[in-house]
Amino acid sequence: DQQVKQNSPSLSVQEGRISILNCDYTNSMFDYFLWYKKYPAEGPTFLISISSIKDKNEDGRFTVFLNKSAKHLSLHIVPSQPGDSAVYFCAASVYSGNTPLVFGKGTRLSVIA
């Protein structure tokens, strides 16, 4: 049973445009959501997070939106840059400190110059 789903395995966007990566979850107990970025031959790196008490969190070019009723979150990257080309993983947790992060399968973003 996949609790965190990233239904788009890949996405191509032109440099300067907006990239939108989507993620759906099924477990209504999740209350903390994160995005990680992974370059080849490196481990995933934390990008941005949001707790369930918010519906939006911004950090520079990156914004995460959370729609609890739809159990959906999205990551917006504006403007997209070639260096953003990577695999993006959505993750979720019950923020008790005792449950591990549950990850989606990832979306490969390619930003074309």
Partner 1 sequence: EAGVTQSPTHLIKTRGQQATLRCSPISGHTSVYWYQQALGLGLQFLLWYDEGEERNRGNFPPRFSGRQFPNYSSELNVNALELEDSALYLCASLKDAGSLPFDTFGSGTRLTVV
65 touches partner 1 (CB under 8 A):
no
89 touches partner 1 (CB under 8 A):
yes
4 touches partner 1 (CB under 8 A):
yes
Complete edge-to-edge strand list for the sheet that includes strand 62-67: 4-5, 19-25, 72-77, 62-67, 56-59
Distance (Å, whole) CA 62 – CA 101:
21
Binding track over 17-56 against partner 1, x by CB under 8 A: ---------------x-x------xxxxxx--x-------
Distance (Å, whole) CA 21 – CA 7:
10
Contact residues for partner 1, defined by CB under 8 A: 4, 6, 32, 34, 41-46, 49, 89, 91, 93, 95-106
